[in-house]
């Protein structure tokens, strides 16, 4: 039962917005300014006058991350290896950010966009994580043997720690605490591989009952130093922790309507909430893709037009925004496909699509194709 449970969890994480990003199976003298402070704001219209990315079809892997407010990082395959390129949306300039002899699967920034975690595949059963600076310089590296999949979570409070879980072929897993500054790797006994960081060296996880699967389960916190555990919420179906905010979805009523709740950290006092219908999927709820812009405190997601079974659902999704400071909910686009979403640090743009190959401009509700495959 435990093996089957983790197989289902991996499948669900690849299909829905569980936010740690999707992780496919491995084949593999003055103080410095932050990235956000360095960037010059620009208007959405500027982008329409620039050239799009033209990439050969057989080389393009995906747009993977934001380097800063107006520059993206995208991955192209080069023989048996990969190259991460940067692309400035304003100037249209591209540059090589990092080159690897291994196949690169994904890139994920820490909270300040000063470090980037690159996941690559050495072989079908060996994975690797390395951290780069915002200049593409290598800062740390870790290898994972007997690994067919990796999931990980940046610590937004320290900005230099990562919890990573490596899955074996039988879907058992080992979890580790990685420290960029010390380049260390310490094995940790973590009850659930899908964790989020909380303040004071705690991690949070949903305490699913593997023997008796249920649609909702308690949300727990565990201290990585003392291993002490405490219950945060009695019943949730999804959660995500940010710098000073905890997002949860749960308390689904008999009509399939869930409560999306935003609570302060570490106090856990509810700030705002709203209701939305959920679809069921396998033995869990289907959570549409989402992202949260910490600078503006705006939550973006897709919302189904009714509750029900995800299997065969064809009533569409609407693209919405929710302001976690004042509770204002807006429908930005009435009909859109539920696809992965990753917004720029300032929230002016959101990457969109299964390869993040499009750009949504929430303020104008426009969708722009970023990539032209040749």
Q: Answer whether residue 345 shows pLDDT above 70.
A: yes
Tokens 């890139």 found at: 107
How confident is the model over 144-195, as pLDDT tens digits? 999 999 999 999 998 899 999 999 999 999 999 999 999 999 999 998 999 9
pLDDT (average), residues 326-345: 97
pLDDT tier for residue 284 given thresholds of 50, 70 and 90:
confident
**CA neighbours within 13 Å on the CB side: how many for 52?**
15
pLDDT at 38: 40
Q: Token pair for residue 372? A: 């032209």
Chain-centroid distance of CA 334 in Å reads 24
Question: Span 103-125, mean pLDDT?
Answer: 96
User: What does the alpha-carbon distance between residue 172 and residue 53 come to, in Å, rounded to a whole number?
Assistant: 40
pLDDT band at 210 (very low <50, low <70, confident <90, very high): confident
Over 50: is that where the pLDDT of 370 sits?
yes
pLDDT averaged over every residue in the chain: 88
Q: What is the pLDDT of residue 48?
A: 53
CB 243 within 8 A of CB 255: no
Structure tokens at 136: 């593409």
Give the pLDDT confidence score for residue 65 in this predicted structure.
98
Average pLDDT over residues 22-38: 34
Question: Using one digit for the tens of pLDDT, what is the confidence trace for 67-79?
Answer: 999 999 999 998 8
Share of the chain above pLDDT 90, in %: 78
What's the rounded mean pLDDT across residues 247-268?
A: 96
3-state secondary structure of 252: coil
Nearest to 150 by CA among 302, 4, 314, 22: 22
Give 185 or 225, the one with higher predicted confidence. 185
Least confident of 208-212, 232-236, 268-272, 309-313: 208-212
Give residues with Cβ within 8 angstroms of 7, minimum separation 6.
171
Sequence-separated (6 or more) residues with CB below 8 Å from residue 353:
339, 340
Q: Is the pLDDT of residue 22 over 90?
A: no
Token pair 């310089």 is found at 137
As a whole number of angstroms, the distance between CA 37 and CA 194 comes to 32
User: At residue 220, does pLDDT exceed 50?
Assistant: yes
Share of the chain above pLDDT 70, in %: 86
Q: Is the pLDDT of residue 328 over 70?
A: yes
Residue 47 — very low, low, confident or very high, per pLDDT cuts 50/70/90? low
Q: What is the spatial distance between Cα 324 and Cα 158, in angstroms, rounded to a whole number?
A: 24
pLDDT of residue 43: 53
């Amino acid at each position: 039962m435990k093996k089957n449970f983790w197989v289902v969890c991996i499948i669900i994480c690849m299909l829905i917005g569980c936010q740690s990003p999707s992780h496919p199976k491995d084949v593999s003298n003055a103080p410095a300014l932050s990235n956000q402070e360095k960037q010059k704001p620009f208007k959405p219209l500027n982008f329409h006058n620039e050239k799009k990315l033209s990439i050969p079809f057989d080389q393009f892997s995906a747009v993977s991350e934001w380097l800063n407010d107006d520059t993206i990082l995208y991955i192209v395959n080069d023989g048996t290896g990969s190259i991460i390129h940067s692309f400035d949306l304003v100037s249209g300039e591209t540059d090589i950010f990092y080159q690897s002899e291994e196949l690169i699967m994904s890139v994920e920034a820490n909270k300040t966009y000063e470090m980037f975690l690159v996941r690559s595949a050495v072989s079908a059963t060996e994975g690797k994580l390395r951290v780069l600076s915002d200049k593409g310089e290598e800062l740390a590296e870790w290898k994972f043997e007997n690994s067919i999949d990796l999931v990980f979570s940046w610590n937004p409070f320290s900005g230099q720690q990562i919890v990573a879980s490596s899955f074996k072929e039988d879907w058992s897993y080992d979890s580790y605490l990685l420290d960029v500054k010390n380049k260390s790797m310490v094995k940790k006994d973590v009850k659930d591989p899908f964790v989020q960081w909380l303040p004071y060296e705690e991690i949070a996880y949903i305490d699913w009952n593997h023997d008796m699967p249920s649609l909702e389960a308690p949300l727990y916190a565990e201290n990585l130093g003392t291993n002490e555990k405490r219950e945060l919420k009695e019943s949730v179906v999804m959660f995500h922790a940010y710098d000073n905010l905890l997002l949860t979805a749960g308390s689904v009523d008999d009509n399939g309507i869930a409560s999306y709740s935003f609570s302060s950290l570490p106090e856990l006092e509810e700030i705002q909430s709203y209701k939305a219908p959920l679809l069921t999927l396998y033995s869990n709820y289907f959570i549409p893709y989402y992202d949260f812009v910490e600078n503006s405190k705006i939550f973006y997601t897709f919302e189904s037009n009714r509750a029900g079974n995800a299997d065969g659902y064809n009533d569409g999704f609407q693209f919405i925004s929710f302001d976690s400071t004042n509770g204002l909910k807006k429908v930005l686009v009435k009909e859109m496909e539920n696809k992965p979403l990753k917004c720029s640090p300032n929230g002016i743009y959101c990457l969109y699509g299964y390869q993040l190959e499009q750009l949504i401009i929430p303020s104008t509700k426009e969708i722009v194709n970023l990539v032209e495959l040749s």
